[in-house]
Structure 1
Amino acid sequence: MSQACGHDRLTFESSTFLQHTDYARPNEQARQTAATVDSRTQTTKHIAGAFCAPLILPGDDLAEDPEYPAQSLKEWLDDEDRNEVQPARKTLYVVPPPTLDSSASFIAPWSQPDSKYDSGPTGMEPPNVNDIGDYLRAFYHGLPVKVLPSSTLRLATWDGNKSKTPRFVGLQTASECIRIRTRASKDHVFARQLNLDDLLDVAISILPQDAFALLMLVPYDIYESPEDDFACGRAYGGSRVAVISTARYHPGLDAHMGVPRVHGWPASHCVDYLEACCAEADGDAPPAKKKKKTAGGNSRDTGDSPLHAAVAAHKALPSLEDAPSQEALSALWLGRACRTSSHELGHCVGIDHCVYYACVMQGTSSLKEDARQPPFLCPVDLAKVLRATGSSREELYRALLAFCEKHSDGHLFVAFKAWLEAQL
C-alpha cells in the first residue's frame, strides 16, 4: 500500500487474523480491574478510540505466543523482585555511543549498512543521545535523567588484534577494558555485530550508585544468541540496565526489512492495510478458531477519536515514500529509538510485556511489528509508571507534548502530539 491510501477506515480492534490464533484479549471489565489496586476503585474514563486492541497480525508476538501472562497493576505492585524508585536511587542514566580508540578505526564502518541494502538518501542524522535523553525525561516525568559524557565508553582492540574481522574487541570503561564478542552478520546487512549479553555486562559494571536504571545506546548491529539474525535491544530488568541498538532502525533499510512507513503507527490501524496483511497470509493461515466475543471494544469509526486525530496529523505531512526529506527520515529514525528506549526502561521499572492493549510495552517479534505499535502506555501500564515516578497523567502527557512540539519534522511525533492533545 502507498501514500495514496487515505486511511479512511480505522479500527480499534484486532485484525481478522485473530481468529487463527489462540489469543483471547481480557474483556473490558478485566482491563479496568487490571488498572486498579482495588477492583472497587473507580477507574479513569478514557476517550473512545484512545486505546485500541493489539493488532494481532501474522507473525506478531501475541500471535506466536498467545498465552503470554498478563500483569495487572496489583501484580506489579506485589512483585517482590521489582526494583522501587528510592530517594537515593532515582536517576535514569543514558550512555552515549562509545567513541573509537585510534587503534580501532576499522570498527567505524560496522555502523553502516551494506550499500546494496541501503535505499535511503545520504545525509540522514542518526538518533542524537541528547534528544533521546529529553524524550525519556518526558516519558518518565518525575525522574531525573542524566546523559553521561561521550568519553564514558571507548571501543578498542582486544589483545592488540587489528584484524578487520576480530572475534573480540574491547570496551574500555573508566576502570577496565571488557571483552566483547563479535561475529559476521548472518544476513550480511552489516559487516559485523556485537554481542548483546557482553554489552549488558558492561552496563552493569558502570551503573552509578544513585542510578535507578541505565540505558546504553550503540550504533552497531547486535545479536543475542547464535540463532538470532539480530536484536534491537534488551533489558536486564532486575539489574536495572538496558541496551538498544539504533542500527536496524536506519530508514534506508526499510524496503529490505519490509518495514511499513506509510502504515506505521497510527496508520497501522487502517482497515485496508490490515486486510491486505491478512490476505497475504491467508494461504498459510491455520483454520479459524471458535472464540468468545470480547466485551467493550470500540469498533465503530467515530471520526473524532484520539486515533483519528493522530491519523489526520500523520496524513497531513509529506509522504514518507515519495522522496522524503532527510529531516523527516532522521526524525523517523529518532522516533524509533525513543520508542524502544522507553520500552526497555519500562522493564527496569518492572513492567512486563502488555497483552491488554496496543501499547508501547507490547512484545515485538519483528521490525514490522515494532513500527506498527504506539509510543504511549496503555491505562494499565500508565498506572504503573505513574506509581513509580510520582508524576500525574496530565504532567506526563504535557511533558511529552512539549517534546513532540520541538520535533515537528517527525511523522511519529506529529501524530503523537495530536493524540496527546485529544487526550488532554
Structure 2
Amino acid sequence: MGDFVLPDKGAREAAVGSLAGMEPSFRRCFQAGEDFELKREPDLGDWLFHHEEPGQTVREYLDSQPNKVGANGRSKLHILPLGEFPKETSPDLQELKKYMELYYAPMVVEILPIIPAEEVPAVTRENLSSGKLQWNSSHLLGALRGQVPRDSYGLIAVTMTDLYPEEGWNFVFGQASYKNRVGIFSFARYHPAFTGEEGEGDAARLVQQRASKVLTHEMGHMFGIKHCIYYQCNMNGVNSLPECDATPMHLCPVCLRKLQRAVGFDPLSRYQELEKFYRQHQLLPEADWVKGRVDWIAQ
C-alpha cells in the first residue's frame, strides 16, 4: 500500500472536536500545543504502510456507543497470567498493575491467580525458526472467554510463551476479541535473550516499558478506541518491536479525550501521577515530557 496521507492541522483539530464551554485548564488538556509529535510518514514494514486506517474522531468514537464502564457491574480491569514468568526475562506484573491503575484511574485493576502452564488449554507446536514452544492464540482466545469475571470491563491474559494464530504464521504478539472483552498477549519476544542477544543498557527496563505500552494499548481497544493516525501516540498500530519502541507511552489529545469520556478521570491529575511513576522507574524522558505537558496546561 504505502499511500497513507498524513492528516493536516484542520483534520487533527476536527478529530478532537469542539472544546467550547470547557474550563480553561481542562480545555488545554485536549489541545496539542507544541508537545505532541505529528504522525510520522510510514516506512516499508510499518503498520500504516501495510494497513489502511481511516482514523477515528472523538465524535465517531462516541457515536460507536462503546461499552459503558460500570454497565452490568463491569467496572474492573483484569490481568490473567498464564504459565511461568522467569524473573530474568519477564516484566514485573505488580508494576504493570500499578501502571495500568494510573493510566485508567480511577478504575480498579486486579491480577487473577496464575494458571500453571500444564493447566492452560492450549494447542501447541514447536516453532521451526526458534525451536521454542508456541501456543495457538486463536484456540486460547475461545477458551478464555469463560475466564472473564462478571465485574470485568476487560481481561487480558499474558504469558511468556510464544504465540501463533494459525498454521502458516511464524508468530503473533497477541490476539483479542473486543466484543467478548478478552485478549491474550505474549511478552516472550520482548527481551533480547529471545533471539540470543544480550541487549544494550537496561534490558529489564526495556521489557517493562514494552509490556506497559502493549497492555495499555490493547486495553485501550477494549474501550472501543481504534488505532490513531493523528499523532505519535500509544494507540498507533505497530508491526514490529522497533516500531513499538518508537511510539510514546502517552495518548495524543484525540485518544486522551476518548478515554476521558469513557473513564471520567481528571486529565491533569492523571498526568501528575504518571510523572511520579515514570521518575520512580527511571523513565526520565517520559517523566520530562509529562512535566512539560503539565506546565503548559497549568500556565
TM-score, normalised by the number of residues in structure 1? 0.63
Structure 1 counterpart of 2:188, one-letter code: A
Partner of 2:162: 221
- SS of equivalent to 1:242: strand
Partner of 1:135: 99
- SS of equivalent to 2:176: strand
Distance in 1 separating the partners of 2:284 and 2:108: 25
Shift of 1:52: 2.5
Query: Aligned pair 1:59/2:45, yes or no?
Result: yes
Contact 2:160 2:187 in 1 (8 A): yes
Contact 2:36 2:252 in 1 (8 A): no
Structure 1 counterpart of 2:100, one-letter code: L
203-212 or 38-47, which moves further after superposition? 38-47
Distance in 2 separating the partners of 1:345 and 1:154: 24
Query: Aligned pair 1:231/2:172, yes or no?
Result: yes
Query: Aligned pair 1:86/2:67, yes or no?
Result: no
Contact 1:139 1:399 in 2 (8 A): no
Greater CA radius of gyration, 1 or 2?
Answer: 1
Q: 1:41 to 1:29 in 2, by over 3 A?
A: farther
Contact 1:233 1:344 in 2 (8 A): no
Q: 1:197 to 1:41 in 2, by over 3 A?
A: farther
Distance in 2 separating the partners of 1:231 and 1:362: 17
Query: Aligned pair 1:181/2:143, yes or no?
Result: no
234-243 or 130-139, which moves further after superposition? 234-243
Structure 2 counterpart of 1:362, one-letter code: N
Q: 1:386 to 1:255 in 2, by over 3 A?
A: farther
**Alignment gaps of 5+ in structure 1:** 1-19, 100-110, 113-122, 157-169, 172-178, 262-319
Partner of 2:209: 335
Query: Aligned pair 1:76/2:17, yes or no?
Result: no
1:400 to 274, 278, 291: 274
Distance in 2 separating the partners of 1:40 and 1:148: 42
* Residues 357-376 of structure 1 mapped to structure 2, 5 A cutoff: 357-376=231-250
Q: 1:202 to 1:396 in 2, by over 3 A?
A: farther
Distance in 1 separating the partners of 2:218 and 2:181: 10
Distance in 2 separating the partners of 1:371 and 1:404: 16
**Alignment gaps of 5+ in structure 2:** 295-299
Number of residue pairs aligned between Structure 1 and Structure 2: 287
2:151 to 192, 196, 210: 210
Give the CA RMSD over aligned residues: 2.4
Q: 1:335 to 1:194 in 2, by over 3 A?
A: same
Contact 2:35 2:293 in 1 (8 A): no
Shift of 1:222: 0.5
Contact 1:203 1:214 in 2 (8 A): no
Q: 1:75 to 1:379 in 2, by over 3 A?
A: same
Partner of 1:417: 287
Identity level (%): 29
Shift of 1:391: 0.3
- SS of equivalent to 2:82: coil
Partner of 1:278: none
TM-score, normalised by the number of residues in structure 2? 0.88
Structure 1 counterpart of 2:178, one-letter code: G
Contact 1:91 1:143 in 2 (8 A): yes
Structure 2 counterpart of 1:405, one-letter code: R
- SS of equivalent to 2:60: helix
